[in-house]
Every structure is written in structure tokens, then in C-alpha cells.
Amino acid sequence: MSEQTTPPPPPEPGAPPAPKVVRRRDWLPSLIWLIPIVAALVGMTLVARILMQRGPEIVLTFKTAEGLEAGKTAVKYKDVQIGVVQSLRLARDRSHVRVTVQLTKEADGFTASDTRYWVVRPRLDTSGISGLGTLLSGAYIGADAGTSEDSASEFTGLEVPPIVTRDASGQQYLLRAADIGSLDVGSPVYFRRIKVGQVAAYELDADGRGVTLRVFVNAPYDKFVGVNTRFWHASGLDASITASGVKLRTQSLATILLGGIAFQAPEGEMGPIAKENTAYALAEDESLAMKAPDGPSQPMLMYFNESLRGLAPGAAVDFRGVVIGEVKSIGVEFDRTEREFRMPVLVQIYPDRLRRPAGETAPESRYSQEQRLQFLIGKGLRAQLRNGNLLTGQMYVALDFFPKARPVKVDVSKTPVELPTIPGSLEDLQTQVQEIATKVNKIPFEELGKDMRVSLATLNKTLTGAEQLAKTLNNDVSPEITAALKDVRKTVDSANRTLSDDSPLQQDVRQTLQELTRAAGSMRVLTDYLERHPESLLRGKPDDKKK
């Protein structure tokens, strides 16, 4: 049915003419639609670009999502962002958290199956303080690129950051030890007290008899690890109290609290540079690590008839100051023949420690080892307990020659050989002290005390009499002594006056002496004349005859 059009009304007189309406063509589009079209094209271009630059999507599992936020937490490698966390979801069994991560296109290599991921947070452990930068920026996920050709989409995140990453330069070595001690992942490794590496990992051996540690030595210090290098525990204080005194050793202040490992080769014996994953034994301390090889050992059994207090397994066995073995065990047993208790001590002797220095060859002996041992025992070789430290009471076993020792017969073919013993010097000293104490106990101290009290009473009476005598002398004899002294003084004064220079006696004596001098002179003249003229005794002087 067609629509009817009503004609326009006629124009009124004097009115302007009606406008002419022209209909636009329907196929020409409006310009306003260009704006959304251009916006759609730009959006599609951006989406395509994002899709082209978008990398793989992976899932990480962690025990907790502490510090992680969807759309905010970044994934970094060497502080370069390679992805971002898209979502966090709790696993159905509630044992872990699944973290979906969108990697960038440049991070395709981080899908290798051996790639490692961990959460970087502020952490304090044996290797020090790490992750302080996250206090302001927040936690992020760290990555360590793998080298496997196989790829994966799900990874189990590490709860502890790895100590050694795959881009680190250096080598790893295996250490076998009886226990881990105070070591932990990140404990330092020292060479000549310089930190050159750290403990990377450890695990219990399959048989449960020890542990295996994996240590990483940074380059270029790995060139100092040779086939003859020795490793030892450097944890805490290495204190030893022996007969030589007290010794304290430590690598650094950090090892006292956190523990550590040290290594070094004997001087001039490092040998070729060790290859990676070379296995070494981890010694308890430096002295054991640097000790020369002992060679074959020989067990010996000793029986003592004295107390073994202060002697323990591991105590030294020495020969005139040279340690040639150690005590392995001690015990007690009853000898039914002698009907007494004996104290057996089993020791391990290393004969090579008494041989010539390296490089010198000893001439071959025509006697067997048993014959030589029998000869030494015949010369007085005996074992004796001695005190190694008076402060701690530590004992050791000393081997020495005692020519005056009682001869004994020993079956050197038995295993172990029974080495004769001799009482220790301390035991003799204790016996002498006990004998002295017995003699002292026999002294009648009570009777001596009574006699001493009587003597003191008599002495007291004597002193009282002497005091009274002194008072009597002071009162009776003292005036007479004073008068006698006055008379003596008068006599001395009189003698002084008589012997003075101007006294008459002195003048008379002086004149007499002068006369005697003149007479002596005349006698000398007469004697000289008679010696020249002896005939004058008969004839007289010639002058007298002339007269």
C-alpha cells in the first residue's frame, strides 16, 4: 500500500516563498564514523604488537605467596625484568601456591627444564644479609637460566636462593665428612684466610655413615686447588690442650659464629690442578689435614696395674717426645691367675714415623720385625703412663728404655703384641707421698702438745724470774756501777793531764831523751875511732903523747 502525500498549502499573500528541500544521497557515509574506525585500527595494531611481543606463560609453585602480588610483582634476571606475575592461586590440596607468570618474548630461554626460580626477600643467613633492596621496591622473583634443551611450563620454586648460579665463574668440589658440624649452605671457604668460595649444598650419604658437601671455589682461586690439597673444618675455635700447652686457631671472626672450611696444600706438594667435582676428605682440624701419611699401623696391647684416670681414646703414644701412635681403647679385666684387676690399653703404632726422612733409604735388615721388637724389649723397652698436663690431668703413654727394668718374656708372634709396662712416675710419687703421710700419722702430736705446754709453762716461769732479776739489778747494782764509772772517769782525766804535752813529766822525759840522744852520738864517735885506731886502747891518743 503506497503512502499518500499531502500537497503543501498555498502560500499566503505577501509571504516569502517556501524553502526547497533536497534529499541527500543515502550511500555517502558520515565523516563522524572515521574516528572510531581509526581508533579500532590503532587498538588492533597494539593488540597485535602485544601478542607478537608476548612470551610464554609458565606456572611456578611456592609454599607461600608472601610478598607476591598479581600484576605487580616482577620476574628479574640480573636486575632486568623478564616477566610479571599474572595471577596467584591456592592449590586444591592447599599444600602450595600456584603463581602464573607471563614472560617476555626475549625470555624464551627461561623455559628450559633446569631453570630455577626463587623469591627474593630480605634474608639473613650464613652467607650474610641479602635482599635489602626489596625493603622499598617489594619482593620479586629471581631466575637462573637453565642449559637443558628440554622445555617445561611448570617449575617448582626454590625456598632458599641458590648460592651458586650457572653464570658464576669457578669450579665445584666434593667433600666427604663424618658429620656437617656447624656448616650450612653459604658457609665460607677460605684459602690462607682469604674467602674464595662457599658451601653450595650438602646431603646425607645413602648408607647414613657420613655426609657429602659440595663447595664452590670462585675463579681465579680454583687454580690453587690441586690433587694433593687438604680440606678441613675451620669452624669456631680450634682449641687443643696437650703436653705442649694450649693452642687456639681460627680462620676469621665469622667462622667462630657461622663456621667455615679452609684448604691448603703442603708446601711444594700441590700437584696438578684438580678437575671439577674432584672428591676430597674433610678433616676435623688443620693438624689432622696436614699430617703426613702414616703408612701401615701395628696394634699393641698394654696392661697397667694403676689408675687410668686422665687417659682417653685418642691420647698420644710417644717415644721420647715423638708421637708414634694413639690410644684406641681402654678397659678393665680380672686376671684369674694373679687374682687381681688389670687395665688393658689397646694402642695403634705407626712404625713409619720412626723411619728415615723421605729420600733416604734404610739398608735392609736381616732380622724380622718380631726379632727387632724382641731385641728392643730385651734392652728395656717399656710403656709408662705419664702426666701430659698438670692443669687438666691429661695422661699419655710414653715408650722409653729402662735398662734396670725386670726382664720379661714376650710372645711377639701374638696379635696384638703385648708390650710390657712399668709403673708411672706419678704412681711412684703418690706411693712416696702416701708413705710420708703414714709416717706423719704415727707422730704422737697430742703427747708432743702436752710436753710443749709444760715447756712453755716452765719458760714462762723462767722469764718471770729473769724479769724480777733485772728489776733487782736496776734498783741495787745500778747506783754502785754509776759511782765506779765516776772514779774511772777521774782516773782517765788524771792520766790525760799527766800525758799532756805541757805536763812536767812530759818535759822531763823529753830532756832525758835528748841526753840519751847526745850520749848515743858520743858512743858512735868513740866506736868509729876505735875501729880506726884500736891501738889507742893501749897507747892512748897520739896527740896526748905529743903533749
Q: Which three cell numbers stand for residue 89?
A: 592461586
Instruction: Burial-class residue 172 by CB neighbours within 10 Å (0-12, 13-18, 19+).
Output: middle
The H or E element spanning position 422 is: none
- Would you say how long the chain is, in residues? 547
Residue with cell 597485535: 48
Domain limits of the chain?
Answer: 48-156, 170-289, 298-357+366-422, 504-539
Q: What is the pTM of this model?
A: 0.53
- The pLDDT assigned to 296 comes to 78
- The pLDDT assigned to 18 comes to 64
259 in the Ramachandran plot: left (φ > 0), alpha (ψ -120 to 50) or beta?
left
The H or E element spanning position 535 is: none
Low-confidence ranges of the chain (pLDDT < 70): 1-31, 50-53, 123-135, 236-258, 355-367, 425-432, 445, 473-478, 488, 495-503, 505-506, 537-547
Q: Is residue 278 within 8 Å of 212, Cβ to Cβ?
A: no
> How many Cβ atoms from other residues are within 10 Å of residue 175's Cβ?
23
Q: How far is CA 76 from CA 68, 133, 237, 312, 329, in A?
A: 13, 13, 40, 57, 59
Spatial CB neighbours of 228, under 8 Å, sequence gap ≥ 6: 265, 266, 269, 270, 271
- The pLDDT assigned to 438 comes to 77
- The pLDDT assigned to 215 comes to 93
Instruction: Give 374-386 as a DSSP string.
Output: HHHHHTTEEEEEE
Q: Is residue 331 within 8 Å of 343, Cβ to Cβ?
A: yes
3-state secondary structure of 252: coil
Q: How many CA atoms lie within 13 A of 152 on its CB side?
A: 15
